[in-house]
Amino acid sequence: MTECYFNNIDYYIKKYLSKAQTSVCIVVAWINTSLFEAEFSQLVQKNVQITIMYNDDFINAKIIKKQAGIIYIPIRMPSSKNKMHDKFCIIDGRFVISGSYNWSKNANANFENVIINDDRLTVAKFQNEFYELTNVNSLYEDAKDNGKCINCGHKTFRLGVIQNIDEEKCLDRVDVFEVCSFDTGHNRFLKVEYYQGLTNFLNKDEKQPDYFDEEYIDGTATEENVALNNLVENRRNYELLSFFNHNNEWNVHFHALAYRICDNYSAYIEGYEPLMHFIYKVIWKNKFLANMIEDEYEEIGCW
Ligand SMILES: [Zn+2]
């Protein structure tokens, strides 16, 4: 189901809000809470968990009146270049409302639009973004200390590459590289850290996509199911890796994480080829540096 509205947008937002049974996650640049006070009160009475994420600025300071029972998360962006300009709302993890519409008085007079969508993959992607935004302040702190390439002067970032080195002993290594955004030939190996049992928790990349989160099991490996499964797994993996990111012994923060995977694994298992073609699949990027980080690398540096 996809609906779109260009007029009376606040009416439709309220209509969908009133359908909520469990949770409402609102992420908007600006929100005048008095416009939705009655709906919010009813939801709080129904024990619906409401979270409102918004710009921590002087406009919202004037138009947000906090109500008991609602979680407020002000997002303070590092500079005016990085506005949190989202406008979306996830209801019960089942619908997403998204568009140009800020939840403010001014928006009612503007030409605006919203789309309401219940596509599972779309909703899951918005949920993922919601989680990502909850960490935005610490992501910025991590992003600040990226460097410059000593060869060409372009920006660099730190990439942690995870690989299992002994399946029986569950031993994994994470190699950290300083990656040049201009030429990966300039990359520098920084250090390696060993972990016990890390990949046990993580994506089993070499395997077929045969694992589905229970919520999504319907017996078929449709494109949508595979994409959903990947999204759920990557999120869970990120949560784990984020812990390592901030709790490793040498206190180095990664800006991206990748798996070193073999793309001829089936041929290797069947005895046709030696393990040889490695690729580096990026599973997570720091939002502030994302535009300089590729989705996949063929070469990272010497091992
Ligand atoms: Zn360089």
Beta carbons within 8 Å of 289's beta carbon, 6+ residues apart: 143, 146, 155, 157, 255, 256
Tell whether 157 and 290 lie within a shared domain: yes
Phi, psi of 233 (to 5 degrees): -65, -45
25/71 same-domain check: yes
- Among candidate residues 134, 160, 188, the one where a domain is terminated: 134
Do 81 and 166 lie in one domain? The reply is no
Same domain, 206 and 275: yes
> Do the beta carbons of residue 193 and residue 248 sit within 8 Å?
yes
Q: Count how many domains the chain has.
A: 2
| Cα 184 to middle of ligand 1, angstroms | 7
Q: How far apart are CA 146 and CA 181, in angstroms?
A: 11
The model's pLDDT over 91-147, given as tens digits with 9 standing for 90+, comes to 999 999 999 999 988 877 889 999 999 988 899 889 888 988 888 888 888 888 788
Q: Can you tell me the distance from the alpha carbon of 64 to that of 66, in angstroms, rounded to the nearest whole number?
A: 6
pLDDT of residue 247: 63
Shared domain for 171 and 246, answered yes or no, is: yes
Find the Cα–Cα–Cα–Cα dihedral 282, 26, 113, 60, rounded to 10°: -110
Q: For residue 150, how far is its CA from the centre of ligand 1 (angstroms)?
A: 7
Ligand 1 centroid vs 146 CA: distance in angstroms? Answer: 13
What mean pLDDT value characterizes the chain?
83
CA distance 119 to 107: 26
CA 243 to centroid of ligand 1, rounded, Å: 30
Share of the chain above pLDDT 70, in %: 84
Taking the C-alpha atoms of residue 144 and residue 58, their distance in angstroms, rounded to an integer, is 25
Confidence of residue 207 (pLDDT cuts 50, 70, 90): very low
CA of 132 to the centre of ligand 1 (A): 29
Whether 157 and 106 map to the same domain: the answer is no
- Taking the C-alpha atoms of residue 42 and residue 53, their distance in angstroms, rounded to an integer, is 20
pLDDT digits (tens, 9 = 90+) for 214-267: 444 455 667 777 777 777 776 776 776 666 666 666 566 789 988 888 777 677
Q: What is the pLDDT of residue 169?
A: 79
> Residue 161 is part of which domain span?
145-297
What is the Å distance from ligand 1's center to 164 Cα? 29
Are the C-beta atoms of 37 and 66 separated by less than 8 Å? no
Kindly report which listed range (196-205, 266-275, 280-289) carries the lowest average pLDDT score: 196-205
Determine contact, residues 275/266, Cβ cutoff 8 Å. no
Query: Which band of pLDDT confidence, cut at 50, 70 and 90, is reported for residue 157?
Result: very high
178 and 124 in a single domain? The answer is no
User: What are the helix (H) ranges across 92-189?
Assistant: 105-109, 120-134, 136-144
Determine the Cα–Cα distance for residues 221 and 210; give it in Å rounded to an integer.
Answer: 8
Give me the amino acid identity at 173: R
| Ligand 1 center from residue 260 Cα (angstroms) | 22
Distance 292 CA to ligand 1 centre (A): 12
Ligand 1 centroid–CA 299 distance in Å is 14
Question: Domain for residue 140, yes or no?
Answer: no
pLDDT score of 204 more than 50: no
Same domain, 236 and 105: no
Residue 303 lies in a domain: no
CA 7 / ligand 1 centre spacing (Å) = 51
Report CA(151)–ligand 1 centroid distance (Å): 5
Six token digits for residue 295: 């989705």
pLDDT tens, 134-148?
888 888 888 887 889
Instruction: Determine the distance separating the centroid of ligand 1 and the alpha carbon of 83, expressed in angstroms.
Output: 29
**How far apart (Å, rounded) are the C-alpha atoms in residues 254 and 251?**
10
* Dihedral-angle region of residue 92 (phi above 0 means left; psi in -120 to 50 means alpha; beta otherwise): left
Residue 168 confidence class, pLDDT cut points 50, 70, 90? confident
CATH number for position 90 = 3.30.870.10
Q: 3-state DSSP call for residue 196?
A: strand
Between the CA of 142 and the centroid of ligand 1 the distance, in Å, is 21
CA distance to 78, 148, 176, 259, 285, per residue, from 187 (Å) = 28, 11, 10, 17, 17
Read off the DSSP letter of residue 221: -
pLDDT digits (tens, 9 = 90+) for 50-75: 999 999 989 999 999 999 999 999 98
Q: For residue 170, is it within any domain?
A: yes
Ligand 1 centroid distance, CA of 147 (Å): 11
Spacing, Cα 188 to ligand 1 middle (Å): 10
Separation between Cα atoms, residue 298 and residue 279, nearest integer Å = 5
275, amino acid identity = L
Pair 20, 128 in one domain: yes
* d(C-alpha 251, C-alpha 301), whole Å: 22
CA of 251 from ligand 1 middle (Å) equals: 24
Distance 174 CA to ligand 1 centre (A): 22
Residues 78 and 211 in one domain: no
Supply 54's token pair. 């918004």
- 290 neighbors 162 (Cβ within 8 angstroms): no
φ/ψ of 163, rounded to 5, equals -150, 145
Residue 17 has pLDDT above 90, yes or no: yes
